[in-house]
Amino acid sequence: MKKLEEVFETWEAVIGLEIHAELTTLNTKMFCGCKLEFGAEPNTHTCPVCLGLPGALPVPNKAAIESIVLAGLATNCDIEKHSMFYRKNYMYPDMAKNFQTTQGPVAFCMRGHLDLDVDGPAARERYRLDDLGVGESDGNITRTEDGYVAHVGITRIHMEEDAGKMVHVGGGEGRIAGATHSLVDYNRAGTPLIELVTEPDLRTPEEARLFMQKLRQIYLAIGISDCSMEEGSLRCDGNVSLRRRGAKEFGTKTELKNMNSFKNLHDGLAYEICRQAEVLEEGGVIYQETRHWDPSAKRTIVMRVKETADDYRLFPEPDLAPYDLTDAFIERVRAKLPELPDQKARRFEEAFGLSAYDARHLVEHRETSRFFEACMEAAGGEAAKLAKPVANLIINDVTAYLNAEGVALAATPLSPARAVELVRLQASDAISSKQARQVFAAVLAEDKDPEAIVEERGMKQVSDTGAIEAVVAEVIAANPDEVARYKDGNTKVIGFFVGQCMKKMRGQGNPKVINELLARRLAE
C-alpha cells in the first residue's frame, strides 16, 4: 500500500465530518425530565418518554435549544427561525421506541464556517503547498508564512437525541462480533445531542483533526459540553472519497464511524485514503459503506452497507409543534457568548506581543490559556517583557510534563507566581537556560519556590565581568596552542575555551558574558 504523500501525487481526498456532541452541562434529557449523569447505575435514569412507551409525549428542553443556538452563533451559522423535528426510523435495541427524534433538512443552525490555521508538520500533508506564495489562494486555502488558512464550510448543526448504550459481552474488544450476548443501558437514551455537518471542504487527515480540535475548544469555551471523547460525549464520523487530481465529480464515499480520539480520526482517514487508492488503481470498486477503524490492527473493517435517507423513512414528528424562534430569543442567546478561542488568541497577540503561533497554542486548552493570563497578572508591569518566555515555558515544558504525567496543571506545584519567578531568574541571567530546566523539574518534584532551589543548590550564575575576566585570562594563558588555532581561522575552538572557563567556575559562569569576553581577548 502506498504512503499518504504518494497517494496525494495522483489522487485528491474529499473529506467531510459529522461531529456529535452531547450537551452534558444540562441537567435533564432532551424530551423528558430524566437526569443526565454519566456512569450512573444502568437504567436508573429512564421514564416512559425516553423508553418510548405507548402514550408518552415529549416535552422539549428549552435550555438545549439555547445551547444549539449558542453553538451556531459561535461557528458563524445563520440561525433559522422556523424549523421542526422529524422521526428517523430504524430498528435497533439501543432506541426502544424504534425511531430517533431529529431535525430534517432545515436545522436550527445553517450555513456556517470555521477558518483553520494549519502550520508546521500539519501543513506538509497539503499537496504542493510550496507552489503558492504567501497571500496567494488556491480553492479554499490561503498561504501564510508558516502554512495556510483553510476556510471550511458548515452545512448545518442540528438537534437530535442520543441513543442508549450497547454493551457486548464475550468475544474480543467489546464488539458485537463474537459476543455471547448484549446488554443495553437506556440512561443515555434521550440525551440532548447536537450534530455538526461540514461541507466536503477538507482535503487532508490533519485538516480533519484540526477542525475537530478547534470545534472542541469552541464548545468548551461556550460551556455546552464537557467534550469528553473518552466518555463518548464528543465523537466523530468521517466521510472520505477520492477523485483524480483535476477532476470535479466526487467519488464514492465511505464513512468511518465513531472516531473517539483525534489520533484515531487522523490515522483512520489516512489509512482509508490509501486503501481506496489501492482499490481504484487495481481496477476495483469503492462501495458506499460504513467502516470501523481498528487502532490495534491499524486498518478499517466493513461494518455495514451504508443506508440512504430513504431507508430511514423520515417524516415530521407529530407530537412536537414546529419551532419559531424570535429575534429577541436569538439576541438573548447571543448576549451569552463568551470570548471565543480565536478572539482570545488575537487579544494575546495585541496585548502581549505574542506571535500568532504562540497565541494559538496557548488557547488550545482552557487551563493553559487561564494559566498564562494568571502569569501575566502576576508579572504586573513586566507582563509584556516576560510574555514570550512565559509562553515558551507553558507551550514546551509545561505541556510536555502534563502529557507525560497525565495530570492537570492545577494538580501540580507550579503556580503562576512560581512560573513568573522562574522566567525572571533566566531573563535576568541569574541562571542559564539549562539550569532553568533543572529548576523547573525541581519545582515540580520538591514543591519549592524557584528562588529557594537556586539558593540551596548554589546555582546563581556569575555575571560579574571582573571575576570572569580573570578566569578568561587564565584559560587563554594556559592554552597557547588553541589560541594559535583560533587566530589561524578555526573559530570553532571558542567552544573549548568556554568549556574550560565554565569548568573553572563550577558551571556558574554566565556563558553569554564568557563568550563576549573570550571573543574580545582572542581578537587582540
Retrieve residue 5's grid coordinates.
504523500
Same domain? 486 vs 403: no
Same domain? 387 vs 291: no
Where do runs of H (alpha helix) occur along 244-398?
A: 262-281, 327-334, 341-352, 356-362, 366-379, 383-392
Residue that terminates a domain, selected from 333, 363, 380 = 333
Residue 497 CB neighbours (<10 A) = 23
Same domain? 36 vs 70: yes
Same domain? 209 vs 67: yes
Same domain? 130 vs 196: yes
Q: Which pTM does this prediction carry?
A: 0.86
Pairing of strands 254-259, 289-294: parallel
User: What CA–CA distances, in Å, run from 280 to 275, 287, 300, 303, 386?
Assistant: 9, 11, 16, 20, 55
CATH number at residue 517: 1.10.10.410
Same domain? 252 vs 218: yes
Contact call for residues 288 and 254 (beta carbons, < 8 A): yes
- The whole domain housing 484 covers 465-522
Residue that terminates a domain, selected from 456, 484, 511 = 456
Same domain? 400 vs 502: no
Cα 451 to Cα 421: distance, rounded to the nearest angstrom: 7
pLDDT of residue 310: 64
Same domain? 349 vs 309: no
pLDDT of residue 463: 61
Same domain? 303 vs 445: no
Q: Report CA 327 to chain centroid distance, whole Å.
A: 33
Q: In this structure, what DSSP letter does residue 524 have?
A: -
What amino acid occupies position 393? L
Cα 190 to Cα 52: distance, rounded to the nearest angstrom: 10
Cα 228 to Cα 405: distance, rounded to the nearest angstrom: 19
Same domain? 396 vs 477: no
Picking from 210, 179, 159, the residue whose alpha carbon sits closest to that of residue 30 is: 159
Cα 498 to Cα 39: distance, rounded to the nearest angstrom: 60
Cα 162 to Cα 189: distance, rounded to the nearest angstrom: 5
Q: In this structure, what DSSP letter does residue 35 have?
A: B
Which residue do the cell numbers 442520543 mark? 162
Same domain? 370 vs 281: no
Pairing of strands 99-103, 85-89: antiparallel
Q: Which residues of the chain register pLDDT less than 50?
A: none
pLDDT of residue 173: 62
For the chain, how many structural domains are there in total? Answer: 3
Residue that terminates a domain, selected from 309, 333, 357 = 333
Pairing of strands 82-83, 323-324: antiparallel
| Complete DSSP assignment for 321-348 | PPEE--HHHHHHHHTT----HHHHHHHH
Find all residues with CB under 8 Å of 46, minimum gap 6, and list them.
Answer: 34, 186, 187, 189
Same domain? 136 vs 217: yes
Cα 101 to Cα 158: distance, rounded to the nearest angstrom: 11
Cα 30 to Cα 102: distance, rounded to the nearest angstrom: 11
Cα 143 to Cα 126: distance, rounded to the nearest angstrom: 11
Contact call for residues 390 and 423 (beta carbons, < 8 A): yes
Residue 372 main-chain phi, psi, to 5 deg: -60, -45
